[in-house]
Structure 1
Amino acid sequence: MSTALDLIPAPHGASQLTLVEQLVQWARRRIEERVFRPGMRMPSIRKLAQDKGVSRFTVVEAYERLVAQGYLDSRRGSGFYVRERAGAVPGERGAAGAAVQGERPSQRPIDVVWLLRNTLHTGAPEKGPGLGYLPSRWLDGELVAGALRTLGRQSGGQWLGSGTAQGFLPLRQQLQTRLEEFEIGAAPEQIVLVSGITQAIDLIARLYVQAGDAVIVGDPAWFQMFGRFAAQGAQLLGLPYTPNGPDLDALESLVKTWRPKMLVINSVLQNPTGTSLSPAQAFRILRLAEEHDFIVVEDDVYCDLCPPSYPATRLASLDQLGRVIYLGSFSKTLTANLRVGFVACAPQIAQAIADQKVLIGMTTPELNERVLYKILTEGHYRRHVERLRARLDGVRDKCGRMLEHAGFSLFSMPAAGMFLWADAGVDADAFAAAGQEAGFLLAPGSLFSPQQSPTTWMRFNVANCGDPELPAFLGGYLESVARRLAG
């Protein structure tokens, strides 16, 4: 149990704070970090007093101060709720529309900042089962350091140029070779280097999506892109998933009803379900794209976590970049901080993306691109990703069994990749808030929905579920909810 002195990190002068002031600071911090979000009911006075080891009077006084400061609303007979504050920092919340068959998409808030902010500040990966990256101890910093040392011995004059719009040519030539392994033909002029998948999505949205255009995304899917398309005024259409991949009957109904501009999809090891496209599914998606004239954006960020023998089909290998825009990155296998990704597409599209890239932020840092080129050409990267896949294989089943023992139901058990999609059977947002209080960063499924709909699903990173206290917390929380419902 936490004590009052454990409520918040101890800043300078903390010893002079009263228990009420410490509790107010604790609550404000949780609200500002979006752990407690607008509309969420705060813990009851009795429960919070018990959890924090303070009197009920202390909790009442703290809650009343938070009401006066505009952080909470008091609802007689119901409790205290987080208030939607008019002075929230602009840009902390996006908006996105979503639709089901025959229903016009409505605008709903997308609130992922609390997860992103805590992702950047989580120092112990084993405490972050909701994180989207592999723990640093799994990665090979010497690969990056060695490339930097090699570059540091070269003449400094090469660093004084401005770079090129499409990016460092030798790296694009190397990527051409890598894509040939996936049976994707892309000449260097068809490849544009970008600062990761996020920038690629941003450039594509700016070029091709206008207000009112329908864009199909997975439901669930990678949440950061929702706000970006919504900023263009897009109507987001959620494509449901089954344990075998996207529901293509639902996709056909969506494209016939809404005439979308674009479909964005993970073809391999989809985030968060871990599913991959079969050849039949891939052919059907491309047929629908041709019949209804929409662009397909294929995000293959997890490609190197997929063994060569794994049954998966890439849309770009079938389409050969006629209608498909293919995205790749190395943030999952090297380091998120390197920020080098790429777009492979038809030549005219590549030129338009490069022009848009220069208009927005000039060129991408060539130093990063040269570092990646060295890593890919010095022969150690392949063995590195083989080790990563082996480590994931060593923990995936164990993590799945742990979740099932705690009371979760798995969506499926993929044979590769880093994510498991699991049903807790209880509200995932409340679960995530309780996790934050216990020191665990969880990823509630509402963040992965374009509607941000309440859900019982959660995403787990199998590489970050090794904390010995995690199983007890997960199982204990589910048991406490069951007892409360039964009582």
Structure 2
Amino acid sequence: MPMDRPNLSTLAITAGAALDTARMTLVDQLVHWASLRIEERVFLPGMRMPSIRNLAEEKRVSRFSVVEAYERLVALGFLEARRGSGFYVRERPAVPSQNAAAPAHKSPIDVAWLVRSMLHAVSPERGPGIGTLPPSWLDGEMITSALRSMSRQAGTHLLSSGNPQGFLPLRKQLQTQLAELEIGARPEQIVLTSGITQAVDFLLRLYVRDGDTVLVGDPAWFVMFGRIASQGANTIGVPYTPDGVDMQALERLVQTHRPKLLILNSILQNPTGTSMTAPRAFQILRLAEQYDFLVLEDDIYCDLCPPHQPVTRLASLDQLKRVIYMGSFSKTLAANLRVAFVACSPELAKTFCDHKMLSGSTTPEINERIVYKVLTEGHYRRHADRLRGRLDEVREKTARTLERIGLRMYSEPSAGMFLWADTGVDTSALAAAGHEAGFLFAPGALFSPRQAPSTWMRMNIANSSDPGMLTFLERQLQKAA
């Protein structure tokens, strides 16, 4: 018996995905839409595809376009045509592994699934679980202007390997910007990396050994959990409260486990949106001194925090003795520029730079030059102001809308892009249902090192106003009630 096809009423062609669909023909878009969902096993082997007439009406395209798309999918091996019955998803042979082969199975809702889905599977308006701002909020012209400015210069400076620590003028500019945050760092104390993920990876390789303990927030940024485990270290979560890190719990964990590192967001923590107060910052530094561990302070959301908001950064108190400070421009400029930096003690900066050279030589200087141009041509501050203003415009409205459909807010952040919300249901199951309906949610289990079932979910306020998504979410919560 052929399997019934799913309801496709909410599965629109993905206009905002990684491919530039604006330049694709309608047939190309249909092929991309169908093949993506077959690869992600939304359409399972044996399922009958929508009839030519129904899909043409659904997508508002001609029947000829649907026929041509289906024929291409047959040629590509995604579908098979059955005379008099229609088109069906074809069982495709699994590619054998070089090692022992495990049977193919549907991808679980895990960290890799979320990252992969954020990169290509859904358009921003259908992705409240996406961790970046929509491209329409960012300033592509500012990047283009920097590229034009670079193109007018002699091209020979782009042909060398670059400086192992990173483009020196950008490091000097970062020295100025860090001084505004009351963090003293000379250019030789700053090393540029290809994103925060690479910075964390390098630092874990330098400091963490098999059997060591690393403390992280619970909840916290999920990508680092697997990286810590790959070093053979124990990952232990520190509970959060609406006011930030639970200091009593942190002290107990430090006394019991004697960690090598503590990794946290001090400002606009991902996913709770909380920021550190001065008393908590002093307590953390006291514990770091007393029990001899380092703190990796990830300040990736720095420019989404209003300049005069009363927040405290550990690095401003410690001045890079035990604190290693990390920052990036991926949230405010462009994620694919992959320009981040580490500010630390002079000794560590040298060691870090040596490790960077041995691991991957230098970072792409052209990206660093683009960021330098953007920061120094006078438009970036106004751009950051606009982003903060747009987030301020939607934050309160989004929180109240989510509450009306049944969610409970963890806290009321006054800045940033995330809300941490309790749905009252297992959000991994909710995310799986959303995936089949064409929506991307970020379930709470992924944000905990324990990966335990959770009713919490991270919502990106810039991507949480789509009526279809809100209706879907409300219906899912009503079903579970």
**TM-score under structure 2 normalisation?**
0.80
Q: Matched residues in 2 for 1:302 and 1:250: separation?
A: 25
**Which residue matches 1:86?**
102
**Which residue matches 1:235?**
234
Does residue 397 (structure 1) correspond to residue 396 (structure 2)? The answer is yes
In structure 1, stretches of 5+ residues that fail to align are 11-22, 34-64, 71-84, 94-108, 483-487
- Structure 1 residue 27: deviation in Å? 7.8
Report SS of the residue matched to 1:312.
Answer: coil
**Which residue matches 2:322?**
323
Report SS of the residue matched to 2:337.
Answer: coil
Report SS of the residue matched to 1:236.
Answer: strand
How is 1:416-431 mapped onto 2 (pairs within 5 angstroms)? 416-431=415-430
Does residue 29 (structure 1) correspond to residue 40 (structure 2)? The answer is yes
**Which residue matches 2:189?**
190
Deviations 1:393-438 (A, max 9, x none): 0001111011101101110010000000000001010010111122
Q: Matched residues in 1 for 2:184 and 2:43: separation?
A: 47
What amino acid maps onto 2:186 in structure 1? A
**Which residue matches 1:465?**
464
- Structure 1 residue 111: deviation in Å? 2.8
The 1:339/1:32 distance shift into structure 2, 3 A limit, reads farther
**Which residue matches 1:476?**
475
**Which residue matches 1:295?**
294
How is 1:10-21 mapped onto 2 (pairs within 5 angstroms)? none
Report SS of the residue matched to 1:471.
Answer: helix
Percent of residue pairs identical: 61
Deviates more, 1:121-130 or 1:247-256: 121-130
Contact 1:184 1:320 in 2 (8 A): yes
**Which residue matches 1:447?**
446
**Which residue matches 1:246?**
245
Contact 2:12 2:438 in 1 (8 A): no
- Structure 1 residue 352: deviation in Å? 0.8
Contact 2:296 2:323 in 1 (8 A): yes
- Structure 1 residue 194: deviation in Å? 0.3
Deviations 1:263-292 (A, max 9, x none): 000000000000000000000000000000
**Which residue matches 2:409?**
410
Q: Matched residues in 2 for 1:272 and 1:296: separation?
A: 19
Does residue 355 (structure 1) correspond to residue 366 (structure 2)? The answer is no
Contact 2:208 2:260 in 1 (8 A): yes
Does residue 153 (structure 1) correspond to residue 144 (structure 2)? The answer is no
Q: Matched residues in 2 for 1:291 and 1:233: separation?
A: 25
Q: Matched residues in 2 for 1:382 and 1:122: separation?
A: 32
The 1:294/1:87 distance shift into structure 2, 3 A limit, reads farther
Contact 2:166 2:192 in 1 (8 A): yes
Contact 2:214 2:234 in 1 (8 A): yes
What amino acid maps onto 1:233 in structure 2? G
Deviations 1:60-80 (A, max 9, x none): xxxxx99xx99xxxxxxxxxx
Contact 2:338 2:367 in 1 (8 A): yes
**Which residue matches 1:380?**
379
Q: Matched residues in 2 for 1:192 and 1:26: separation?
A: 41
**Which residue matches 2:263?**
264
Deviates more, 1:142-151 or 1:470-479: 470-479
The 1:450/1:110 distance shift into structure 2, 3 A limit, reads farther
Q: Matched residues in 1 for 2:43 and 2:220: separation?
A: 25
Q: Matched residues in 1 for 2:237 and 2:8: separation?
A: 42
- Structure 1 residue 474: deviation in Å? 1.2
What amino acid maps onto 2:327 in structure 1? G
The 1:26/1:379 distance shift into structure 2, 3 A limit, reads closer
Report SS of the residue matched to 2:458.
Answer: strand
What amino acid maps onto 1:475 in structure 2? E
Q: Matched residues in 2 for 1:4 and 1:387: separation?
A: 41
Contact 2:122 2:438 in 1 (8 A): no
Q: Matched residues in 2 for 1:187 and 1:409: separation?
A: 45
Deviates more, 1:388-397 or 1:308-317: 308-317
- Structure 1 residue 189: deviation in Å? 0.3
- Structure 1 residue 88: deviation in Å? 6.3
- Structure 1 residue 26: deviation in Å? 6.5
Report SS of the residue matched to 1:146.
Answer: helix
- Structure 1 residue 4: deviation in Å? 5.1
**TM-score under structure 1 normalisation?**
0.79
**Which residue matches 2:333?**
334
- Structure 1 residue 112: deviation in Å? 0.8
Q: Matched residues in 2 for 1:264 and 1:250: separation?
A: 15
Deviations 1:312-350 (A, max 9, x none): 100000000000000000000000011000000000101
Contact 1:428 1:455 in 2 (8 A): yes
**Aligned structure 1 segments of 4 or more residues deviating by more than 2 angstroms:** 2-10, 25-33, 85-89
Report SS of the residue matched to 1:207.
Answer: helix
Contact 2:418 2:459 in 1 (8 A): yes
Contact 2:171 2:187 in 1 (8 A): yes
The 1:385/1:230 distance shift into structure 2, 3 A limit, reads same
**Which residue matches 1:137?**
136
Q: Matched residues in 2 for 1:239 and 1:201: separation?
A: 18
Contact 2:262 2:296 in 1 (8 A): yes
Report SS of the residue matched to 1:131.
Answer: coil
Report SS of the residue matched to 2:256.
Answer: helix
What amino acid maps onto 1:148 in structure 2? L
The 1:244/1:3 distance shift into structure 2, 3 A limit, reads same
**Which residue matches 1:366?**
365
Deviates more, 1:123-132 or 1:411-420: 123-132
How many residues were matched structurally?
406
How is 1:88-103 mapped onto 2 (pairs within 5 angstroms)? none
Contact 1:419 1:460 in 2 (8 A): yes
Deviations 1:435-470 (A, max 9, x none): 112211000000000111111000000000121212
Contact 1:110 1:452 in 2 (8 A): no
- Structure 1 residue 149: deviation in Å? 0.3
The 1:306/1:128 distance shift into structure 2, 3 A limit, reads same
What amino acid maps onto 1:245 in structure 2? G
In structure 2, stretches of 5+ residues that fail to align are 14-33, 45-89, 95-100
Q: Matched residues in 2 for 1:407 and 1:372: separation?
A: 42
**Which residue matches 1:39?**
none
Contact 1:122 1:128 in 2 (8 A): no
- Structure 1 residue 160: deviation in Å? 1.5
Q: Matched residues in 1 for 2:7 and 2:242: separation?
A: 46
Q: Matched residues in 2 for 1:285 and 1:4: separation?
A: 52
Contact 2:109 2:432 in 1 (8 A): no
